[in-house]
Amino acid sequence: MFSLTNKTAIITGGGSGIGKAVTTVFAKQGAQVYILDMDEAGGNSTAEEITKAGNKAIFNRCDVSNQADVKKIIASIAEKNGAIDILVNNAGIAHIGNAETTGEEDFDRLMKVNVKGVYNCLHCTLPYMKQKGGSIVNMASVVASVGIPDRFAYSTTKGAIAAMTMSVAKDYLSYQIRCNSISPGRVHTPFVDGFISKNYPGKEKEMFEKLSKTQPIGRMGRPEEIAHLALYLCSDEASFITGCDYPIDGGFIKLNN
């Protein structure tokens, strides 16, 4: 079950955190994976780990906010493989601040990466995916559904991702292209560790425990847990699912009251 053998998969932000987990799981299940990431060290390292394990991964340095860059790389991938079967739009950046404290530069930066970046990848991939159908997974967030303090710009971008997901799912039904989104709660990644170290020096353990307990289940998610949900949604076993969002949040949305 959940085989991706002979499928070509593109994962943006696939060099670290959730993206690395998705890339690794997809490659293990037989896909030829292409990592699109700005982080050359992380992207190359992930690709090397996967190939050493006997699976297939190629790293491409890519700025998803630059459409010309995205178009060139995706065209090259399609030329080598004939079509593109899977796209996981995972690349994104975060920001702390409310509507007053968020500056114009930061707001524009998040929109450029988190929203335009997804649009660019959809815009450039869909013409190739239309050849035989496929599956798209967009990484949204629980902040698209509930209010979280000081996440104004980030929440704005993830709300856009939820709407984009439904629009693409509707527009491409006749091409057998499915489009769904995943909304993680807090997931333990290197980004979280870096955020805590930067903002709460000397209180890392205390803050980690506090953030972990905001999930009713009592802990943060693991990147592999998000990757396994993405695997299901991109597999043939999920062929009847499109236009849906899947919270994977330890009960955060429904039980945090």
DSSP string for residues in 83-133: S--EEEE-------B-TTT--HHHHHHHIIIIIIHHHHHHHHHHHHHTTT-
pLDDT digits (tens, 9 = 90+) for 27-62: 999 999 999 999 999 999 999 999 999 999 999 999
CB 67 within 8 A of CB 115: no
Name which of 62, 51, 50, 54 is nearest 25 in CA terms: 50
Question: CATH says 8-185+223-248 is which class?
Answer: alpha beta
Q: What is the pLDDT of residues 166-195, one digit of tens each?
A: 999 999 999 999 999 999 999 999 888 988
Quote the pLDDT of residue 198: 85
What is the rounded average pLDDT of the residues 82-103? 96
pTM: 0.96
Residue 89: predicted pLDDT: 98
Nearest-angstrom CA–CA distance, 231 and 137: 10
pLDDT greater than 70 at residue 68 = yes
DSSP state letter for 200: S
Question: What is the strand order of the sheet 86-89 is part of?
Answer: 56-61, 32-37, 8-12, 86-89, 134-139, 177-184, 245-248
Does residue 172 have an active-site annotation?
A: no
Report the pLDDT averaged over residues 89-94. Answer: 95
Mean pLDDT of the region 103-113: 98
Q: What is the pLDDT of residue 26?
A: 98
* Segment 113-157, tens digit of pLDDT: 999 999 999 999 999 999 999 999 999 999 999 999 999 999 999
Distance CA 74, CA 71 (A): 5
pLDDT for 256: 79
Does residue 253 surpass a pLDDT of 80?
A: yes
Residues 242-248, mean pLDDT to the nearest whole number: 98
Q: Which DSSP category does 13 fall into? A: T
CA angle 122, 3, 139 (to 5 degrees): 35
What pLDDT, on a 0 to 100 scale, did the predictor assign at position 170? Answer: 98
From the candidates 154, 175, 200, 246, give the one annotated as an active-site residue. Answer: 154
* Dihedral sign computed on CA atoms, order 243, 248, 251, 256: negative
User: What's the rounded mean pLDDT across residues 5-16?
Assistant: 97
Closest CA to 230 of 188, 183, 190: 183
Would you state the pLDDT for residue 257? 62
Task: Please report the pLDDT score of residue 195 as a whole number.
Answer: 81
Task: Kindly state the average pLDDT of the residues 217-224.
Answer: 96
**In the chain, domain spans:** 8-185+223-248, 188-220
% of the chain beyond a pLDDT of 90: 94
Averaged pLDDT, 196-205? 90
